[in-house]
Amino acid sequence: MTPNVSIILPTYNRADYLRRSISSVLKQTFTDFELIIVDDASTDNSAEIIDAFDDQRLVYLRHEQNKGGSAA
């Protein structure tokens, strides 16, 4: 079933804020959404932080090369 709302969270080397941002979205009372995280080729531990979440509503997309904010 397709969710009613898609939330896009672009990130690039923001591991310090990423866990808090994802948690904030997942704690909302409205639950019919998908959270699409677009990682613009981060070189920090962003991927590990995202992988630590076990939620079907998360979609993780990672660019192999940094493309800039507008690409996300």
- The band of 10, judged by pLDDT with boundaries at 50, 70 and 90, is very high
**Kind of pairing between the strands at 58-62 and 5-11:** unpaired
Residue 72: is its pLDDT beyond 80? Answer: no
pLDDT tens digits for range 42-70: 999 999 999 999 999 999 999 999 888 77
Q: Are 63 and 38 in contact (CB under 8 A)?
A: yes
